[in-house]
Homo-oligomer: A and B are copies of this chain.
Amino acid sequence: MTRPAVSSRDLPHPTREEIRLEGVLHALSDPMRLRIVRELAAVGEELSCSHFDLPVTKSTATHHFRVLRESGVIQQIYRGTAKMNGLRRDDLDGLFPGLLDALLDAADRQAVRPKSA
């Protein structure tokens, strides 16, 4: 699913061709991860892990970022002490045109709905 790491401190990512729709959907089916992706899309630029104020511990956050990276949804690189996260929009749009936008739009619509019973 992922490329081997050539040096320490660099992170294995799937190539574009290795990205699987099922993996992307699974990654996005977790509320915490969907939230991360929505924020990345809204801001439109790379964000450090610590920028996100998630209601989970840091180890759990690390886990979610890894799932997103290994599924091909985000790309991560170290920038000094920070680890920057960016949406792989080009790859996703190339593989699945319109999907990411449809997903983000769906998430936006749901976010506006009454949280409900």
Contact = CB atoms under 8 A, between A and B. Distances in A.
Nearest to A100: B102
A110 B25 contact: no
A103 interface: yes
Contacts of A20: 110
Given A21-B34, A29-B29, A102-B103, 9 more contacts: A17-B113, A17-B114, A20-B110, A21-B110, A23-B29, A25-B28, A95-B109, A97-B105, A98-B102
Q: How large is the interface on A (under 10, 10 to 19, 20 to 34, 35 or more residues)?
A: 20 to 34
Copy number in the complex reads 2
Contact of A99 (B21, B30, B106): B106
8 contacts: A17-B116, A18-B116, A20-B110, A21-B34, A21-B107, A25-B26, A25-B28, A25-B103
A22 interface: yes
B95 A98 contact: no
Interface of A: 17-18, 20-23, 25-26, 28-31, 34, 95-99, 101-103, 105-107, 109-110, 113-114, 116
